[in-house]
Amino acid sequence: MQALELEDDVYYLVLLRASDAGLTPSPFLRRQLNGPNSATLSGGVPRSPEPVSRKTEVGARSRSKEADELDAFLQTPAFLVHSDVIGRFVELLGFIYKKNLNKFDSVLGISGESRKYFTKSRREMEDSGRSVMPKEIPGSPFLVVGNTSTSMKQEILRKVLQILGYPQDAISIAERAIQRRMP
């Protein structure tokens, strides 16, 4: 067996993806390397990887800076360590908060029929509804309602990003990022 040095973020990504697929790292990497767009491990001549394009398929338009920043964050160990929807949701909100410190107060207006979705006080959120399960947004003074469905968390995230002026490509990336992961 050979050893291979990997940067921390790559190492954690491989561990997470292998775990999600129910594999250990070696079989996971073997499966990935024998995929349709990669070199073969069975003795054939390795193919050169195809260049990766940062263009969207619609009109070959460049992606927004916000979409690229979100994509980069989604590959960090801080995000990848979360295997549950709520963990990914609050971690992503923490990243968005850090990028929008001066504007994030505007999300306090996002609410349901009776529940407040964002507050700066646990008591205020608990008083706005039953079983709200307030969750702290990392690195911020804000709390977000935790007891909602995945689709509602995606809707809340969409509203946050729209209020903060994010383009649609970044909003779509964020919504997909918190979906349930299927092995």
pLDDT, tens digit, 9 for 90 and up, residues 36-45: 444 445 454 4
Cα angle value 4/14/46 (rounded, 5°): 60
pLDDT score of 34? 72
Q: How many CA atoms lie within 13 A of 146 on its CB side?
A: 16
> Residue range 147-151: average pLDDT?
93
Tokens of 85: 């929807």
- According to DSSP, the residues that pair with 116 across neighbouring strands are 111
| Domain coordinates in residue numbering, the chain | 84-183
Instruction: Please write down the HEC assignment for all residues of 78-145.
Output: HHHCCCCHHHHHHHHHHHHHHHCCCCHHHHHHCECCCCECEECCHHHHHHCCCCCCEEECCCCCCEEE
pLDDT score of 54? 41
pLDDT, tens digit, 9 for 90 and up, residues 99-110: 999 999 999 999
Question: Which CATH number describes the domain made up of 84-183?
Answer: 1.20.1380.10
- Indicate if the alpha-carbon torsion angle 42, 46, 47, 52 is positive or negative: positive
Task: Enumerate residues 6+ apart whose C-beta is below 8 A from 16.
Answer: 80, 81, 83
Integer Cα distance of 89 and 144 in angstroms = 10
